Structure 1
Amino acid sequence: MIDLHRLRVFRAVVADGSINGAAATLGYTPSAVSQHLTVLQRETGLSLIERHGRGVVPTAVGRAIAHEAGRVLESMAEFESFVADVRDGHTGRLSVCYFASAGSAWIPPIIATITTEFPGLRIDLRLVELVVDATPDPDIEIFVEGSPLATSTEYDVHPLLEEPYVVVLPRDHRLADRAEIKVSELEAERWVDNDVARGPCREATLRACAAAGFMPTFHIETHDYATGIRFVAEGVGITVVPVLGCGQLPPTVIAVPLVDPTPTRRIAVRTRATLRSNLAVARVLELLRDHIAIGRLEAGFAGTQST
């Protein structure tokens, strides 16, 4: 196989018309340049240069080889640029997996920024609830600690935040004017379940209730936070959700922080270890932290209550 580096050396000699001049340009010794030319002629089985006075000139075959080598090296430069873009995240594909409430709060603005800054990158978005066993592991996954995760690929894990829960009540509820509500005060309420999958988010609520000395009685079972909140808006009962799960509350309900104890869930993001130098991945992590920091700057639970 012909060595591409020797083609570069050969073209430098042809362009300069001198082994010594090419050596000075390349930062090599003249003997090293001569050796590259000798090996290249042996690899090709062709006579590529000949002496002319104190310099060298390409043979007719050598001129043709130099011309074709230029095309090859130009294509290789484009290929290397493409590889660099893929490595840095400027092109190619990036898969991002997330759970529903994170997807609603964070994913749209983050992906809007990424598609603007990395227009050649294709983003494959996956809602974790819809992922099946045959789905390849994602490049980036936002998850709640305690969720089952595939372990077939090495990942770096980055903690994001510990998120508190609130209780969503009708605005005319007896506790709706409180600044905060003790978990024990909800024992006699009609509870609306919002996670029939019984995942780690639901377990955080059950642990807090157990610490308060009771287990909630769920009168309605729903599959997600939005549906559970709609039932509260209809006066069916109350529901407990993490702050991100509140979304845009209906005008007839209000979200109040819980205490004694405050249920919480830990959210983290994992990224493929092989993408540590990927600029798009780094940018996603930066944007995630920015959105979380903005949320923390908001006073109290501003944004969870409908006005």
Structure 2
Amino acid sequence: MLDVHRLRIFRSVVASGSVQAAAANLGYTPSAVSQHLTALQRETGLALLVRAGRGLTPTAAGHALAAEADRVLARLGAAESLVADLRAGRTGALSIAYFASVGAAWMPLVVRRVLTELPGVRLDLELREHIPDSREERADVQVVVAGTAFDPGSGFTAHHLLDDPYVAVLPAGHRLAGQEEVDLADLADERWVDNDFARGWCRANLIEACTAAGFSPAFRVEAHDYPTAVAFVAAGIGLTVLPTLGAAHLPHGVSRVRVVRPTPVRSIHVVVHDAIAHTPAARTTLAALREAAGSANER
């Protein structure tokens, strides 16, 4: 079994480029660092470092071990944080991942409720558009966009929160402004502003709806997110079509109109790790997200 302490020292040498620098950073003597490196190479049976001028550089095996050490030490750091939370009597930590439009519309209220009801909990928030393939990299709770037949994978449970229909966001004075709804096909010849740099599920859903309406939108401007696309609309450059949640806060003069025949709709789910689903932090977060989704549905 590899010695974690030696992995830390090895990783410091790789990062600093020499035994002397690593020793200074760690508060050890150079001879102690060298002894740990020798022992690690003996344990692994690998040449991990080679001389490079006055310093050291990792071999191919050293690079691979350093990358794996980063992951091991990160997980160990998380475990140490958990132990610190338990010793301090805190209710633990919860990691939450979410996509951008939910972050702006829901997360401040969700976080406020969790911290109000559970002031000892530590929340680790991350903006993330996709679910990682690796289980170890997944958050305890993640808000995602997915289809109705969404499978979150073994060990995780998905809870449907909201069906979010798309709307057309129009500049002031547009011929369709003020209408309650507009056929998607009526937008075929308009100047379109794209709003999804990631080319993810939301954009694919929109393109599929446009195809069903008999056209492919001609994007004049490629924007990377909803607020930027809306800013282009406000400048009179064109229109953009996006989920209602992304059009919750529009600048003066910009209006939104429901899109029909067909209406693109994205489904929003929250995926909860089964191992922590029973904890107060996870239950409170899920309840707060359901409340936020319910409020959005009423608007």
Aligned twin of 1:141: 142
Superposed, 1:215-226 pairs within 5 Å as 215-226=216-227
1:93 aligns with 2:60: no
Note closer, same or farther for the CA distance 1:185–1:169 as it changes in structure 2 (3 Å cut): same
Structure 2: gaps (5+ residues) = 1-81
Equivalence for 1:75: none
TM-superposed CA distance for 1:258, in Å, is 0.4
Q: Which structure 2 residues correspond to residues 206-285 of structure 1 after superposition, within 5 A?
A: 206-285=207-286
Checking the alignment, whether the CA contact within 8 Å between 1:192 and 1:219 is kept in structure 2 is yes
CA distance in 1, matches of 2:295, 2:198: 31
What residue in structure 2 maps to residue 287 of structure 1?
Answer: 288
Q: Distance in 2 between matches of 1:154 and 1:130?
A: 17
How far apart are residue 129 of structure 1 and its match? Answer: 4.5
Q: What is the aligned-residue RMSD (CA, Å)?
A: 2.7
- Structure 2 matches for 1:7-18, cutoff 5 A? none
AA in 2 matched with 1:235: G
Partner of 2:16 in structure 1?
A: none
Shift of 1:283: 1.1
Inter-partner Cα distance in structure 1 for 2:158 and 2:113: 23
2:103 equivalent to 1:103: yes
CA positional deviation for 1:288: 1.2
**CA drift at 1:104:** 0.7
- How many pairs does the alignment contain? 213
Partners of 2:129 and 2:265 lie apart in 1 by 21
Q: What is residue 180 of structure 1 aligned with on the other side?
A: 181
Letter paired with 2:257: V
Q: 1:115 to 1:153 in 2, by over 3 A?
A: farther
Measured after TM superposition, the shift of residue 90 of structure 1 is 5.7
* Residues 152 and 158 in structure 2, CA contact (< 8 A), matched pair in contact too: no
Q: Secondary structure at the match of 2:231?
A: helix
- Structure 1 residue runs of 5 or longer lacking an equivalent are 1-81, 299-307
Q: Distance in 1 between matches of 2:167 and 2:261?
A: 12
Match of 2:206 in 1: 205
Cα deviation 1:208-256 (Å, max 9, x = unaligned) = 1111100000010011000000000001100001011113201021011
Are the structure 2 counterparts of residues 297 and 247 from structure 1 closer, same or farther at C-alpha, using a change threshold of 3 Å?
closer
1:278 to 1:248, Cα distance in 2 relative to 1, 3 A = same
- 2:263 and 2:244 map into 1 onto residues whose CA distance is 12
> What is the CA–CA distance in structure 1 between the aligned matches of 2:130 and 2:213, rounded to whole Å?
34
Shift of 1:95: 0.2
In the alignment, the residues of structure 2 paired with residue 251 and residue 151 of structure 1 have an alpha-carbon distance, to the nearest angstrom, of 40
Separation in 1, partners of 2:132, 2:201? 19
Aligned residue for 2:160? 159
State the shift of 1:154 in Å: 1.6
1:123 lines up with 2:123 in the alignment = yes
CA distance in 1, matches of 2:92, 2:154: 19
Is 1:196 aligned to residue 229 of structure 2?
Answer: no
SS where residue 242 of structure 2 aligns? strand
Deviation at 1:196, TM superposition (A): 2.4
- Given that 1:90 and 1:279 are in contact with CA atoms closer than 8 Å, whether structure 2 keeps it comes out as no
Deviation string 1:64-85 (CA, Å, 9 cap, x unpaired) is xxxxxxxxxxxxxxxxxx99x9
Query: Which structure 1 residue ranges, 4+ long, deviate > 3 Å from structure 2?
Result: 129-135, 149-153
Q: Secondary structure of 1:120's partner?
A: coil
Report the Cα offset of residue 295 of structure 1. Answer: 2.2
Alignment check: 8 A CA contact 1:104 1:247 kept: no
- Kindly state the Cα deviation for residue 165 of structure 1 after the two structures are TM-superposed: 0.4
Partner of 2:60: none
